[in-house]
Structure 1
Amino acid sequence: MKKLLALSILAACSAPVFADVNYSLNISQPQHHLGDVSVEFPKTAQAHLDIKLPAWRTGRYEMLNLANGVRYFKAQGDNGEALKWEKIDHSTWRVHLTEPTQVSVDYQVYANELGKRARHIDDSHAFIDASGFFMFSESFRQEPVTVNLDVPKKWRSVSGMDNLKGKNSFKAADYDVLVDSPIETGINQLHTFEVDNREYDLVVWGDGNYDVDLMLSDLKKLVATGNVIWDSYPYERYVFMVHATSGAGGATEHLNSTIIQRPRDRFGSREDYLAFISTAAHEFVHTWNVKAYRPQGLVPYDYTNMNYSKLLWIAEGSTSYFEDHLLVRSGIETTDEFFKVMSKTINRHLQTPGREVQSASETSFDKWINQGGDHARNYSTNIYSEGSLLSLALDIDLLEKSQGKISYRDVHKALYNNHKMPAGFTQTDVLNILENLTGRDYSTWWEENVDSPANINFDELLAKVGLKLERPEKAKVVASIDATAKNTGELLTLSYVKRGGSAWQAGLTTDDKIVAINKQHVGKDLKSSLETFNAGDKVTIDYIRRDKLESLTLVLSKNYDKPKKVVADKEATPEQKALFKAWIGVEHPNDVTKN
């Protein structure tokens, strides 16, 4: 008995003592974009403790090299003694231990990358995504965490996390919650509201031409639409963070919050405002699709390596698809505005040669390494637009075959109900859901549209819901070289050359500088320079490549000055109109009473 008691005491002494991981961030030099971080890890008996800073952040499928802003790293034990450490890879610091001890580390972070939405500090605020500031250890990743901020007195701190004590302290269940709960602290506006017994914050940093009352009114409408798709909400409180700034744009979804960045003067017009509220809708949908359920390749997050999945077209593209549905159903966006967005997505797809090369599953997997520029457009697709159009095709197929009773919303409702985090869903799971809902096998559809470059007949697809894709009556035929150019001063420099187009076939390429067409100096843009020519004309192009004047001939192609538009079919049948309402949730435009 004594022997067993001694062994129990020994085991208790050598086992880790689980306690909170405590983070502190001191911002005393905001004008220099600097923050001092301290992290206290619980006692451990390991021979070493590997401490890491993420190499990417959630919502952006790209390696960001976040550790390059860390300096003055040091570690000490619970007695204050310095501990030996070494850096063993791009974002891992290994602290060596000779006896059981708590481990505290201190380091400085340089945070001046606002557009990456991971780390930014200046004299007016700090945006704190844990990915860019707070190191972690896999040994304590699942332990509770606390965060304490030491910031200028007039700053206000807001996060999706719960307050621990005071206005600048927060707590989270573990590191994964922390890394998915950014903090906005600084000089900001804070507006709170409640919808259906759930609490919401709108925090705005920066001056701009935004209308806060309009934003609040529409956000209230938006957040009430979750039950359009899902049975319940995965949160009790949600935070909308908005940066009205310059030099940065975009947005990122988080567990129960989002950060939206827009140029400070891009809120005022209807077009600009719709871009903002559409982004808010996109991130709101992400609260379910990605944060409550997501593809298996992203579960659990590996913060220091690429997280591969062939289903990012569902994670991102389906989110883009649903955002407009919620906006239309809530009355924020009109059907005409919805058609305009759809028209842009379809035209972008039709004008992207890469759609004939890369499938949605391939572009999902390659999102981490996809190149930009003309190569991407000529040989790749986009998980957002391609995923949105595949969602459209699948949605209308489901609705048509079920006479409006089953939709793509039901697929996502099933993903939420049956594949909640921490489990990730697979392609097989999606196919099983489709078969369970419809009694049909969708594996052939998947092979033809997801695993192969999709070939969508938009005329047939849109006709099923009483819509048409047509060229405006006033559209004019114009001559084109199937390329775009940017004005770099005295010359036009080609920025994109469409694969297979007239410029491509003639031998022109990106970065060629166009000097003259038929010996006439080009004007300020290609459009005006080609106005005197007709499609089919053979012209001589003088251009500069590698500082040498070259010349070639090409045949101008046929284009139009206006793209095709999605419009309501005036001759839509009652069946088509009924399917339209089942699809988007409002009456077909031809059934709306004209005032």
Structure 2
Amino acid sequence: MLKRTLIASALAALTFPAAADVDYYIDLTEPTHHTGDVSITFPATDKDYLEVKMPAWRTGYYRILNLANGVREFSAQTDDGEPLQWHKVDKSTWRIQIPETAKGDEVVVDYQIYADLLGRRARHIDDSHAYLDASAVFMYADEYRQQPVSVELNVRDDWRSVSGMEKTAEHRFVADNWDILVDSPIETGINDLYQFEVDGREYELVIWGEGNLDHQQTVEDLKKLVTTGPEIWDGYPYERYVFMVHLTTDAGGATEHRNSTIIQRPRYRYGSRDDYLSFMSTASHEFVHTWNVKAYRPSPLVPYDYQKENYTDLFWLAEGSTSYFQDHLLMVADIMAPDEYFERLADDIESHYRKPGTEVMSVAEASFEAWSDQYGDRAQNFSVNIYSEGAMVSWQLDMALLEATDGEVSYRDVHNELYQRFDADEVGFTAADVLTILQDLTGQSWQNWWQQNINSPVGEIPFADMLASAGLELSFASADKQTPWVGWSGNAAPAGIELTRVERNGPAWNAGFTPGDVIVAYDGFRAAGGRFDEALKEYEVGDEVEVTYFRRDQLHTTTLVIGEQQHTGASITPVAEPTAKQKARFLQWLGVPHPNASPAD
């Protein structure tokens, strides 16, 4: 047995590179024109060539970005300075030839990176900071992907560097492998930093930019938010977590990472209560992602393949379920009041009714198609969104579980089981695995439910019944308050109004209008000048309007019949005297007492 072990070890040594660090270095001392100089030292190899690659996409943004397009002035040499020949194999891969004379030497790769992708949260370098997502900055080699890495930054004297990685010097970080590096973005520059500890875990909030965000209020609310993990999961997947916030002008959005997040919002979109809650909802969304996506995720994303699309039918669970939970945690943390949650949920219900694509596409199909860019009225009319509709079906599943088990099992239990059973560093889960968990938790099959609600078009959702079971009433604007409706939207154009969206089966759709049409007149009056939308509201349901428009530079006239939009003015209110069962269901669902529950409850 010992002899066999020694032989196996010897073969392994011949097949795989010995453990050695991959060292990354980036010079950011001349950042004004969005460039940095990267140098990577790879361990020696006995192969005839070394292939280094730049990812084609980054985690949390399911689009091919072709991130190698920012690379210029590529070169390779040995650590002794001997130049190495190379050529590109494809858009993201550089093959470096390793002659016999260089097979014992480390390989040094140098290139310039152009970084002006702030809104993609990929890479951005300017005279005030650099945001570096490694997937868009640092190349890797497959054979060294699991080797330890270090990252050293050469920056201006007044810059500060922050990352979720372990920090060994002011501007130096280390990680166990490239996959951790690529999921631990770096924010370096002129910033505000706040550090705090909650329940033995360390947290940092780093803010780049100026705006009307109340820094101290944010720190206090984040302290409350991060205590809510046990509402869903048994345990935390991190000991240290970093919130990165960009107060900017030209970017908005957020991305989850292994033990950090990056949140971008316009610099003056924090002052009102609604804006601030929207920001905190985003923070909560990314916090939920620390478990759902980063600690456990669908199997086609384990491990991430950064050179091509990673298809799955479960993005609705990864993103939609995260959207579903985000405001629940804000209520538990006493950051959002129940009535504020009801208002947001009512808006989501209205949005669902305004999306004809729910009659066409399932959330499973939407998940698989997430890599394809759906846009314009095509997205609205024939597709559904993995975030919004994923949240709706997550809510359906939650209420179905509570009903089937008399409140003993909720959707939170499903996510805790996913966390306990699947480690994203090792193995992902499938739809069959989720169905197994559902059956294990409830003792019954959920195959038919899954087929009807996940694999079939979303369709009608029994919102009123689901809310009623928790002691809430759903209402819409009365018939006399429904506004006239044509089912289109557009932007001002030199000649009139250019249509950008036409809702399927709405009045404008039925009249034959399509995006790109330029409305120039209605009933003989000019459409331009800002009076168009206001004028249409003066018509009544059933009125006929003669609309003149350009299509392909030719003038046309057709008749538009004003319609009536249903399900507007949605409102959710607590019933005055909820039953004991309704109060219990409300608590089981949202984790907080019903607004009209007595202290004795």
Counterpart residue number, 1:74: 75
For the residue of structure 1 that corresponds to 2:255, the secondary structure is strand
Query: Would you say the 8 A contact 1:258–1:283 is kept in 2?
Result: yes
For the residue of structure 2 that corresponds to 1:30, the secondary structure is coil
Alignment match of 1:434 (pick from 433, 438, 460)? 438
1:467-526 Cα distance to aligned partner (Å, 9 max, x none): 222114697122221111222355222121001111111111112111111112235254
Counterpart residue number, 1:462: 467
1:182-218 Cα distance to aligned partner (Å, 9 max, x none): 0000000000000000000000000000101110110
Matches within 5 A, 1:403-422: 403-421=406-424, 422=426
Structure 1 pair 460/6, CA: closer, same or farther in 2 (3 Å)?
A: closer
Q: Which moved more, 1:14-23 or 1:168-177?
A: 14-23
Alignment match of 1:545 (pick from 543, 551, 570)? 551
1:90-122 Cα distance to aligned partner (Å, 9 max, x none): 100011112213211000000011001010000
Structure 1 pair 453/571, CA: closer, same or farther in 2 (3 Å)?
A: farther
For the residue of structure 1 that corresponds to 2:84, the secondary structure is coil
Counterpart residue number, 1:266: 269
The percent of aligned pairs where both chains have the same amino acid is: 53
1:115-145 Cα distance to aligned partner (Å, 9 max, x none): 0101000000000000111000001000000
For the residue of structure 2 that corresponds to 1:588, the secondary structure is coil
Q: Which moved more, 1:487-496 or 1:219-228?
A: 487-496
Q: Which moved more, 1:558-567 or 1:360-369?
A: 558-567
Structure 1 pair 222/89, CA: closer, same or farther in 2 (3 Å)?
A: same
1:519-564 Cα distance to aligned partner (Å, 9 max, x none): 1223525430212211111111111112222100121101279531
Q: Which moved more, 1:531-540 or 1:444-453?
A: 531-540
Unmatched tracts of structure 1, length 5 or more: none
Q: TM-score, normalised by structure 1?
A: 0.96
For the residue of structure 2 that corresponds to 1:370, the secondary structure is coil
Partner amino acid, structure 2, of 1:68: N
Counterpart residue number, 1:302: 305
Counterpart residue number, 1:575: 581
Shift of 1:592: 6.0
1:10-33 Cα distance to aligned partner (Å, 9 max, x none): 996886332000000001221111
The answer on 1:367 being equivalent to 2:373 is no
Structure 1 pair 57/475, CA: closer, same or farther in 2 (3 Å)?
A: farther
For the residue of structure 1 that corresponds to 2:106, the secondary structure is strand
Query: Would you say the 8 A contact 1:321–1:388 is kept in 2?
Result: yes
Alignment match of 1:397 (pick from 387, 395, 400)? 400
Alignment match of 1:253 (pick from 242, 246, 256)? 256
For the residue of structure 2 that corresponds to 1:28, the secondary structure is coil
Q: Distance in 2 between matches of 1:273 and 1:492?
A: 33
Counterpart residue number, 1:423: 427
Query: Would you say the 8 A contact 1:477–1:560 is kept in 2?
Result: yes
Partner amino acid, structure 2, of 1:180: D
Alignment match of 2:110 (pick from 106, 117, 122)? 106
| Number of equivalenced pairs | 588
Q: Distance in 2 between matches of 1:277 and 1:8?
A: 52
Counterpart residue number, 2:126: 122
Partner amino acid, structure 1, of 2:19: F
Alignment match of 2:561 (pick from 555, 560, 567)? 555
The answer on 1:241 being equivalent to 2:247 is no
Counterpart residue number, 2:540: 534
Counterpart residue number, 2:45: 44
Q: Which moved more, 1:367-376 or 1:313-322?
A: 367-376
Shift of 1:79: 2.7
Shift of 1:348: 1.2
Q: Distance in 2 between matches of 1:525 and 1:414?
A: 56
Partner amino acid, structure 2, of 1:502: P
The answer on 1:566 being equivalent to 2:572 is yes
Partner amino acid, structure 2, of 1:572: P
Q: Distance in 2 between matches of 1:404 and 1:368?
A: 37
Q: Which moved more, 1:216-225 or 1:581-590?
A: 581-590
Query: Would you say the 8 A contact 2:495–2:518 is kept in 1?
Result: no
Q: Which moved more, 1:8-17 or 1:235-244?
A: 8-17
Q: Which moved more, 1:77-86 or 1:556-565?
A: 556-565
Q: Distance in 2 between matches of 1:514 and 1:243?
A: 39
Matches within 5 A, 1:97-496: 97-99=98-100, 100=103, 101-164=105-168, 166-421=169-424, 422-455=426-459, 456-472=461-477, 476-489=481-494, 491-496=496-501
Shift of 1:341: 1.5
Shift of 1:296: 0.5
Matches within 5 A, 1:10-21: 16-21=17-22
The answer on 1:516 being equivalent to 2:521 is yes
1:57-113 Cα distance to aligned partner (Å, 9 max, x none): 000000011111100000012331111101011100011112213211000000011
Structure 1 pair 153/440, CA: closer, same or farther in 2 (3 Å)?
A: same
Q: Distance in 2 between matches of 1:341 and 1:129?
A: 32
Q: Distance in 1 between matches of 2:325 and 2:287?
A: 10
Shift of 1:373: 1.2
Q: Distance in 2 between matches of 1:11 and 1:445?
A: 49
Q: Distance in 1 between matches of 2:9 and 2:382?
A: 63
Query: Would you say the 8 A contact 1:476–1:560 is kept in 2?
Result: no
Q: Distance in 2 between matches of 1:15 and 1:581?
A: 55
Structure 1 pair 451/6, CA: closer, same or farther in 2 (3 Å)?
A: closer
Query: Would you say the 8 A contact 1:491–1:513 is kept in 2?
Result: yes
Counterpart residue number, 1:91: 92
The answer on 1:53 being equivalent to 2:54 is yes
Q: Distance in 2 between matches of 1:540 and 1:14?
A: 76
Query: Would you say the 8 A contact 1:14–1:45 is kept in 2?
Result: no
1:287-343 Cα distance to aligned partner (Å, 9 max, x none): 000000000011100011000000000000000001011001111001111111211
For the residue of structure 1 that corresponds to 2:320, the secondary structure is helix
Alignment match of 2:590 (pick from 584, 588, 593)? 584
Q: Distance in 1 between matches of 2:141 and 2:189?
A: 29
Counterpart residue number, 1:505: 510
Q: Which moved more, 1:401-410 or 1:114-123?
A: 401-410
Q: Distance in 2 between matches of 1:304 and 1:103?
A: 22
Counterpart residue number, 1:35: 36
Query: Would you say the 8 A contact 2:476–2:567 is kept in 1?
Result: no
For the residue of structure 2 that corresponds to 1:170, the secondary structure is strand
Structure 1 pair 552/155, CA: closer, same or farther in 2 (3 Å)?
A: same
Partner amino acid, structure 1, of 2:277: L
For the residue of structure 2 that corresponds to 1:303, the secondary structure is coil
Counterpart residue number, 1:63: 64
Query: Would you say the 8 A contact 2:493–2:518 is kept in 1?
Result: no
For the residue of structure 1 that corresponds to 2:516, the secondary structure is coil
Partner amino acid, structure 2, of 1:87: K
Counterpart residue number, 2:3: none
Q: Distance in 1 between matches of 2:476 and 2:16?
A: 72
RMSD: 1.9
Q: Distance in 2 between matches of 1:573 and 1:301?
A: 48
For the residue of structure 1 that corresponds to 2:565, the secondary structure is strand
Q: Distance in 2 between matches of 1:77 and 1:461?
A: 66
Q: Distance in 1 between matches of 2:429 and 2:138?
A: 29
Query: Would you say the 8 A contact 2:578–2:597 is kept in 1?
Result: no
Structure 1 pair 374/13, CA: closer, same or farther in 2 (3 Å)?
A: closer
Q: Distance in 1 between matches of 2:469 and 2:202?
A: 40
Partner amino acid, structure 2, of 1:545: R
Structure 1 pair 535/20, CA: closer, same or farther in 2 (3 Å)?
A: same
